[in-house]
């Protein structure tokens, strides 16, 4: 459905996208994951025919971005980054303009506008000026704009940025629902977002795809390593017995934890960061170890790799390609 071949984009001396190739099947929900400046937005701008690639090409449904931009624009819905809107219109006027531009007419137009207002929860602000809307309503208006013509392909640039946790959940559910019948590409720099909404991920860094695969594949890749952050209290610093526990691969950190204000002094706290085998029951053995050695565990937090750590891992391993 969407085919990108050796896609590249230069802005002057900066090469934002460096020869990216990928294919996306109809009905997939694909996440572009990467830190800021990885090239996610640029790829989306090329796919939506907002700008030409410097080299390479892309086709959507067989239409080329160079020769057939009108056909592509017609089948797309696009939510640009930060959901730009016409602030001197109200929500209804804005959706009316978009629906007109998308070629919706008559009762079908009125019906679709009504539907997206419901789907995106815009009822309370229909006749309010867009300049008075909160960030959450603006984002939802932008989303309503993108889906009003029921497009086959939906391209969403950071659809949940700047929203509060409740709104994020709502938007993710909406995207999931839309993803059941549409091809969706969304970009984000939040790992959990991809897991929550996408069935496939392209991980980008510095303009290149460093890994791609289904969310399960990426997850499994990440599961290779789990870090436990453990805080214990006890008389002395934990010794070498810790490293001998089966399931513990490496003691990354073993040092006295700072005494926080308000905590009773005297109780010696130690912060341990352990690299462990996943699903090996190491937590239980750790508990037994603490009892045997006279420590008390006050906190045990499994830590996930942050996006930065994930990139370091993926790029170090030579762009391990899960596909």
Q: Which residues bind another protein (CB under 8 A)?
A: 45, 48-52, 54, 70, 73-74, 76, 78, 80-82, 84-89, 93, 97-98, 100-103, 129, 145
Q: What's the gap between Cα 211 and its chain centre?
A: 14
Rg from Cα positions in the chain:
25
Q: Is 249 exposed, middle or buried (0-12, 13-18, 19+ CB in 10 A)?
A: middle
Q: How far is the CB of 74 from another protein (least distance, A)?
A: 4
Q: How far is the CB of 15 from another protein (least distance, A)?
A: 15
* Nearest in space to 82 (alpha carbons), one of 30, 123, 119, 36: 36
C-beta closer to another protein: residue 94 or 311:
94
C-beta closer to another protein: residue 93 or 225:
93
- CA distances (Å), origin 71, targets 61, 74, 102: 10, 5, 12
Q: How far is the CB of 89 from another protein (least distance, A)?
A: 6
Phi, psi of 260 (to 5 degrees): -85, 150
C-beta closer to another protein: residue 24 or 146:
146
Helix (H, G, I), strand (E, B) or coil at 281: coil
C-beta closer to another protein: residue 145 or 205:
145
C-beta closer to another protein: residue 77 or 213:
77
Q: How far is the CB of 76 from another protein (least distance, A)?
A: 7
Q: What angle do helix axes 91-101 and 106-119 make, rounded to 10 degrees?
A: 130
Q: How far is the CB of 67 from another protein (least distance, A)?
A: 13
Q: Residue 164 and residue 285: Cα distance in Å, rounded?
A: 39
């Amino acid at each position: 459905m969407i085919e990108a071949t050796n896609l590249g984009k230069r802005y002057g001396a900066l090469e934002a996208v460096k020869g990216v190739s990928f294919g996306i099947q109809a009905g997939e929900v694909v996440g572009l994951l990467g830190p800021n400046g990885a090239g996610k937005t640029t790829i989306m701008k090329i796919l939506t025919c907002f700008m030409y690639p410097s080299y390479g090409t892309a086709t959507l449904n067989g239409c080329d971005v160079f020769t057939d931009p009108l056909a592509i624009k017609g089948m797309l819905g696009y939510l640009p980054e930060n959901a730009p809107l016409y602030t001197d219109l109200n929500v209804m006027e804005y959706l009316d303009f978009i629906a007109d531009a998308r070629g919706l007419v008559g009762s079908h137009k009125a019906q679709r506008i009504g539907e997206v207002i419901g789907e995106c929860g815009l009822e309370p602000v229909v006749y309010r000026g867009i300049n008075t809307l909160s960030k959450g309503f603006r984002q939802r208006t932008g989303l309503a704009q993108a889906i009003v013509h029921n497009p086959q392909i939906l391209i969403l640039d950071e659809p949940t940025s700047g929203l509060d946790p409740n709104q994020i959940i709502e938007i993710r559910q909406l995207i999931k629902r839309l993803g059941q019948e549409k091809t969706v590409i969304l970009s984000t720099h939040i790992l959990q977002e991809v897991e929550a909404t996408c069935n496939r991920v392209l991980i980008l860094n510095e303009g290149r795809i460093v890994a791609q695969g289904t969310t399960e594949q990426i997850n499994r890749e990440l599961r290779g390593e789990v870090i436990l952050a453990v805080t214990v209290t006890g008389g002395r610093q934990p010794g070498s017995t810790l490293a001998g526990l089966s399931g513990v691969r490496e003691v990354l950190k073993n040092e006295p934890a700072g005494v926080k204000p308000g905590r009773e002094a005297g109780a010696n706290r130690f912060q341990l960061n352990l690299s462990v085998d996943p699903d090996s029951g190491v937590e239980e053995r750790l508990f037994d170890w603490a009892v045997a050695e006279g420590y008390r565990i006050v906190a045990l937090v499994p830590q996930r790799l942050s996006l930065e750590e994930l990139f370091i891992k993926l790029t170090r391993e030579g762009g391990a390609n899960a596909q």
